[in-house]
Structure 1
Amino acid sequence: MANNNDSRPQDDALVNVNDNKEVIDSAPDTPTTAPKKEKSSGNGLLWFVVVILFLLVIGLAGAGYWYYMQQQTERLSSLDTQQKNTVALQSMEQQRAQLTDKIDAITQRNNALADTVSALKAENETLALQAESALEQIKNMEGRRPADWLIAEADYLVRMAGRKLWLENDVRTAILLLVNADKRLKSLADPSVLPVRAALAADIQTLQQLNPVSPSSVALALTGMIAQIDKLPLDAFEKPKDVNAQDNTLSESTDDWQENLAKVWQSLVDDLFTVKTIEGPVEPVLSLEAQFLIKEQLRLQLMHAQSAALKGDAGLYGQSLQYAQTLLIEKFDIEASQVTGFVSALQNLLNTEVSRPIPSELQAQKPLEGLLDSRVKQVFGQGASAL
């Protein structure tokens, strides 16, 4: 540019020879100095913008890298938690399968026992018919101790009490049968039957001291509670409301353009960056898998307690209910009415005694059989042996 400006004054000097030299010399100076200043100012502004853009690109790249690392960390943590939950679920499935096998075995034993009970009931009916026939024979006998048939009836009632006690666990009916047997012997007004009546009184007292709670009623109560587990609310984390949140709704008035512009800018900033302050302990968010595992653990413990109640195992029964109560308090919303009622029902079951040490034999059975042999069979022979 300096060379071009220098050539122009030379051409002007050739055309206008008489022009002043100072004018010719000053002509190139004026156009050369002004463009240089404008070019220097434009280059500085361009470099400033380039530097700002470069810093913005570096900042965005750093923020993106930080966000990517955070996402990777959260993803690895989520995968680790999912693997742990999967292992726990598999373990629970195995325990549940084992418990199902045990329940199936118990069901088979119960079916076999039911068949045995049915056979014994048929035998009892046969024996009852035979007893009625023998008693009819006793009534038809003349002059041969007409009151001795009461001993046979008492023996029959004692044997029926034993069957009710050991096969059906029906303590109440067994007590009633023993009381009726004692009444039969009492009606004899014979001092020789007092030792048998004393043994009957001891058996009645022993049965009255047994636990009156039926294991089947406890098991049915636990079955009803198991069906209500899915309706119990868990103590899950709920996102709190932001009381300091600003209303970014735009106004329709054109006079509020400055406020609308500020709200738009604030909305853009909130979408890019979020800063929250949390006071107090942070509660973890329960996933669907974790919620399922917690409810399955509670259901499994109640099923353990149900099986223990049927077996009369007081230790396992109490331990299972204690663990179930701990799960309810720690994992469920204890302020909800359903959970409160569930905990109260569990506490009532914990206070219920399920063990029933039923005696293996009745004290009055052998003495009464001996009395029957000595006083009835010797008199009536084959007719009494059918009893």
Structure 2
Amino acid sequence: MSDKPEQQPAAHVDKAAETPVTVAKSEPTSAKPAAKSSGTGLSLLALLIALAGAGAGGWAAWQEFQRQQVQAVAAEPEPDPALIAAQQTLQNQQQALASLQSELQQAVTQMPSQAGLSEQQAALAAVQQAQQQFDQRLSSLLDRSRQDWRLAEGEHLVRLASLRLQSLRDSQGATALLLAADNILREQDDPAAYGAREQLAKSIEALRMLPAIDRTGLFLQLSALREQLFALKPLPSDYDADAEPPLLAANDSDPEWKQWLSKLSAYVRIDVAAEESIRPLLAGESLEQVQLALSLTLQQAQWSVFNGDPAVYKDALKQAGRIIERYFPLEHAEVRNVRQRLKELAAQPVDVTLPSVADTLTAYQLYLAQRERKDLLLKPAPAAQPVEPAVQGGE
């Protein structure tokens, strides 16, 4: 590459040498200026040659440097993907650490001073104290509310006992209700409830001295007996027309009157050994009417059981017995058993003189009124709460 640039200056030298010769021929009178111009051109030519050589050498050096860089890049091994990922993770962690550090610094700068912390601690202590007082007050109110609800329940039980005695005349149910009300007063453990408990004890003992009357049992027994009455069979009234009596059997050869007597025997029965009291025979609608009458009398007896009316109760059972004696055969065992059962039920008591629990209810209500007045007198005044300003200042 260094040889070619050296040949080119030779051509320039020849051209420059030819130019002064031509000038010398055209202007023979001025020889000195031409010589001076020839020296300047040579120096410029030498400078250009030097610059061209330097440029050629730099270009060659730059090409060599590029070739070495390409060889070095080609010779380097490929980077490890795991190492690149680890470096990226490390960089991310460094960035997160720097962000956290900046946030911590910002939080430290925003922290309150020592005086602010003291105010917040004082406000927190005041709030905790107020919360404790509120919890205590709420607990006492809830406890008091439970007691009030229990006492109200006891009053309701006494009212139910009074209504049960008046409407259903159920002494056993009323006794159980009064015992439950007495247990509520016993749980209160209040000496002021002595008068109410005394009246409760009197009413309970008065009810316990009464004879036990199972009104529900009597009602159910009458219902079962009413179902049995529908199964009773009346006196026989239907006869099979096809089955002729042996004595009245007639043939075609018999006289006409005997044939008529045979047909009439299917509708008329002549009993020579009949009882003195002749009862009518029941069939069809007549039997249904008798059964309906018996059912109504027993239902009347059931109504009198719950109303405590012994007169109506006994009259209804006697009327049922008379209906059975009139329309049903007494020689049947089922009829005799039903009559005996009616007599046994008629002997059962359905009414007693029940005591009144009005005094007990009055004593209970008086105790509740005294307790309410006591609560109003002992109720404390609402306390001031200077907690909220302290909390606002701390915030």
Normalising by structure 1, we get a TM-score of 0.45
Q: Which has the larger radius of gyration?
A: 2
Normalising by structure 2, we get a TM-score of 0.45
